[in-house]
Structure 1
């Protein structure tokens, strides 16, 4: 099974998402950091860094108005 890395941006909880997908973690981490810097001034915004293997998704990092959670 192939593993890919997603960055998912939501402008409100459970709202529509903007998403990017990369084969390597480095570019995904860079985009995560970029989106956190650009969009998280709005307290409703959420940014997630996700590892995806097959249909399984595992959240690695999350940024919300309360700050970052790293799993």
Structure 2
């Protein structure tokens, strides 16, 4: 999903930017190269409201 064009994590409060989906991708989740084998999924959650940013999440397959 992060490779999807026009999927953003931040929108300005001005000019109805979020409603028009004119945003920037400025929020990231970084993992070390050692974790890439257990990286299952990464998602941007643009429909979660409450901020000018939306959540970004990763799913890791790690046995504890």
Q: TM tier, shorter chain? A: under 0.3
- Structure with max Cα Rg: 2
TM-score, normalised via structure 2 length: 0.27
Of Structure 1 and Structure 2, the greater strand share is in 1
Q: Which structure features the higher share of helix residues?
A: 1
